[in-house]
Chain A
Amino acid sequence: MLHISIKAETLFSLWGFPITNSILASWVLLVIFLVFSLYFARNFDKKKSTLVFFVLFMVNGLYSMYQSILKENTKKFFPLLASFFLYILLSNWLGLLPGVGSVTYKTAEPEVAHIEVEKIVETDAREEVVEDNHGVVEDKAVEKEGIETQTHTNEEVHETPPIPILRAATADLNMTLALGVIAFILIQYYGIAFVGFAGYAKKFLNFSNPISFFTGILEIISEFSKIISFAFRLFGNIFAGEVLLAVVAFLVPVLASFPFLLLEIFVGFIQGLVFSMLFAVFLSMAIAKHH
């Protein structure tokens, strides 16, 4: 049966900090980004190349899209929104590259556990023979060994299958939750910066009449549900896409997953777009002056 893990798996730990396969993928993406942007900055002043024109064309398209939402504030928020969009987009597409889910890495730990189990079973058998000879005195030791054997056999049952080295960063709930929390904090920050603390807090705590007091409570709840909806929408789409591709490739090994791959490229683009568009809409709502 095919192996699907809902959480990112730990490859190794660095000073006690577990490095999962999705962290590794996000680092790879970060390096790609850095190299590409350095290359772009180096080539920008020179004779215009196709690459520079292509990037400018895409950035221009993104800018005019955000401009339809944020109007005159677009220049301030564009770097933030565009980097969210590009990071999510490339992270989604990285997970679709061949080899990202299929190159695996087998941890050596389960085999060691297996050997230990055998050894203990052997000693256990010997102890029992000893017990037959000496009677009550050895009883406690045997019991202890028995318990240890039990735990080791449990470990052996949970033998870890080989884990993929890379996994799309956005197919990990931690990553999308982090993006959602960053978006939430920035929305609050810019809301306070543009409207002022008193004006912004009035949206949530309003004692002028009972109806606006209760709508304020609802506003607080909807504010926090933004984090959850951001995180789960992105994670669910990308993870479901990976599961879909894995299941289709498992059922029909040849060619059948090709249309689904195209669908996933489209979904990855749409989800990056939806995340940054929603972020832009929430920002424009937060910085608007209320009456």
Chain B
Amino acid sequence: MDPDGAKNIATALAIGLGAIGPGIGIGIIGGGAMQALGRNPEAESVIRTSMILAIAFAEAVAIYALVIALIIKFT
């Protein structure tokens, strides 16, 4: 295979596969936060803060995949 083509496929696979897990995770976190909000609407500010933090942690996994993809692409 042409090395450039292989590089492009590797980049796409790295970020594409790496985005699956965090996507599911963020969905679960968002759903959980909505349920908590429905049960206890006056705790909105606390729920929002901890939801954003948890989403940032889940997103970090996608960011690792993105870093790998960028390293493959640009080096």
Given the contacts A4-B74, A6-B75, A239 and B67 also touching, CB distance less than 8 Å: yes
> What residues on B are CB-neighbors of A270 within 8 Å?
52, 56
Cβ of A271 under 8 Å from chain B: yes
Q: Is there an interface contact between A6 and B56, defined as CB atoms closer than 8 Å?
A: no
Checking B52, B63, B71, B75 against A237 with a beta-carbon cut-off of 8 angstroms, the contacting residue is: B63
Given the contacts A273-B53, A274-B56, A274-B57, A232 and B63 also touching, CB distance less than 8 Å: yes
Cβ of B66 under 8 Å from chain A: yes
Q: Is there an interface contact between B67 and A232, defined as CB atoms closer than 8 Å?
A: yes
Q: Is there an interface contact between B57 and A240, defined as CB atoms closer than 8 Å?
A: no
Q: Which of A4, A233, A235 has the most CB of B within 10 A?
A: A233
> What residues on B are CB-neighbors of A274 within 8 Å?
53, 56-57, 60
Q: Is there an interface contact between A232 and B64, defined as CB atoms closer than 8 Å?
A: yes
The docked-state distance in angstroms from the alpha carbon of A243 to that of B66 is: 11
Task: Name B's interface SS.
Answer: helix
Cβ of A5 under 8 Å from chain B: yes
Q: Which of A232, A235, A236 has the most CB of B within 10 A?
A: A236
> What residues on A are CB-neighbors of B57 within 8 Å?
274
> What residues on B are CB-neighbors of A239 within 8 Å?
67, 70
Give A143 Cβ to nearest chain B Cβ, in Å.
31
Given the contacts A6-B75, A232-B64, A233-B63, A240 and B53 also touching, CB distance less than 8 Å: no
Contact residues on B (Cβ < 8 Å of other chain), bracket: 10 to 19
The docked-state distance in angstroms from the alpha carbon of A229 to that of B60 is: 8
The docked-state distance in angstroms from the alpha carbon of A232 to that of B68 is: 10
> What residues on B are CB-neighbors of A195 within 8 Å?
none
Task: Name A's interface SS.
Answer: helix
The docked-state distance in angstroms from the alpha carbon of A243 to that of B75 is: 15
Q: Is there an interface contact between B60 and A6, defined as CB atoms closer than 8 Å?
A: no
Checking B52, B66, B74 against A236 with a beta-carbon cut-off of 8 angstroms, the contacting residue is: B66
> What residues on B are CB-neighbors of A4 within 8 Å?
70, 74
Cβ of A277 under 8 Å from chain B: yes
Checking B64, B66, B74 against A5 with a beta-carbon cut-off of 8 angstroms, the contacting residue is: B74
Give A99 Cβ to nearest chain B Cβ, in Å.
23
> What residues on B are CB-neighbors of A240 within 8 Å?
63, 66-67, 70
> What residues on A are CB-neighbors of B59 within 8 Å?
237
- 8 Å CB contacts to B: which residues of A214-262? 229, 232-233, 235-237, 239-240, 243
Given the contacts A270-B52, A271-B56, A274-B57, A236 and B63 also touching, CB distance less than 8 Å: yes
Contacts from A to B (Cβ < 8 Å): 4-6, 229, 232-233, 235-237, 239-240, 243, 270-271, 273-274, 277
20 sample A-B contacts, Cβ–Cβ < 8 Å, listed by A number:
A6-B71, A6-B74, A229-B60, A232-B63, A233-B63, A233-B64, A235-B67, A236-B60, A236-B63, A236-B67, A237-B59, A239-B67, A240-B63, A240-B70, A243-B70, A271-B56, A274-B53, A274-B56, A274-B57, A274-B60
A6-B71, A233-B60, A233-B64 given; 12 more Cβ-contact pairs under 8 Å: A4-B70, A5-B74, A6-B74, A229-B60, A232-B63, A235-B67, A236-B66, A236-B67, A239-B67, A239-B70, A240-B70, A271-B56
